[in-house]
Structure 1
Amino acid sequence: MIRGIRGATTIENNDKQEILTATEKLLRVMISENKIDAEDVAQIVFSVTDDIDAAFPAAAARQIDGWSFVPVMSMREIPVPGSLPMCIRVMMTVNTAAKQEEIQHIYQGGAIVLRPDLSTVKENN
């Protein structure tokens, strides 16, 4: 079955290293919590708010061993007034036997406010 796994995080500064570090941390938790193997990933789409432009968050996937062939893309979010600033979102499309309700969507930092109904604190892995 093909499923989407969502994740999001926030950063403090529009800084290349901070963007890559926060994104890699988010990806590693998404991978761990959902027991994802790179071979099962169809694609990963990353989006950022307008206030982030110092780096492509998709580059963080390349820092994870075995993930260099996963197709990735970075794009901008729609700039809706009042939306969460300094936010990086991830949509990972994977092949999995997990049921929809078994998927662990990961929200870290200030992004927990986006889906508090799905969020459990999973900051480190």
Structure 2
Amino acid sequence: MKVLAIRGATTAESNNKEEILKESAILVKTIIEKNSLDKDDIISMCFTMTKDLDAVYPSVSVREILNICDIPMLNYEEKYIEGSLCNCIRVMMHINSDKPKSEIKHVYLNKAKDLRKDLLN
């Protein structure tokens, strides 16, 4: 087995706790489903959010909504770049896998779909 990283991003409609939790959970759940992951395959997750989202940490959704409580997670503020996408939640999930990198499915949802079209499968 080797360690691989899966990227993903989504957007929230507003800086609202319920909205951030909902969209974060959908993002992580979609990554798990599209990559046929078992929860034990996940090593860690790093989240970033743009500075306009500060109502709740996205990792809370993984613990409370998806009931994944034994994975280390960190939350950061995304560096602001003029003209960049607002209300954006990003994740990098590290996994153990026998798959080649070419089989990893990165997930971009909502307005984040335009961020990395080259990574979409």
Q: TM-score range by the shorter chain?
A: over 0.9
Query: 3-state DSSP class of the match of 1:117?
Result: helix
Task: Say what the alpha-carbon RMSD is for the aligned residues.
Answer: 1.0
Match of 1:64 in 2: 66
Structure 2 residue runs without a partner (length 5+): none
Query: 3-state DSSP class of the match of 2:118?
Result: coil
CA distance in 2, matches of 1:105, 1:97: 17
CA distance in 2, matches of 1:42, 1:69: 9
Match of 2:93 in 1: 92
1:1-125 pair list within 5 angstroms: 1-62=2-63, 63-65=65-67, 67-119=68-120
Identical positions, percent: 38
Runs of at least 4 residues off by over 3 Å: none
Instruction: Kindly tell me the number of residue pairs found equivalent between the two proteins.
Output: 119
CA distance in 1, matches of 2:95, 2:120: 20
CA distance in 1, matches of 2:96, 2:54: 31
Counterpart residue type for residue 73 of structure 2: V
**TM-score between the two structures when normalised by the length of structure 1:** 0.91
Structure 1 residue runs without a partner (length 5+): 121-125
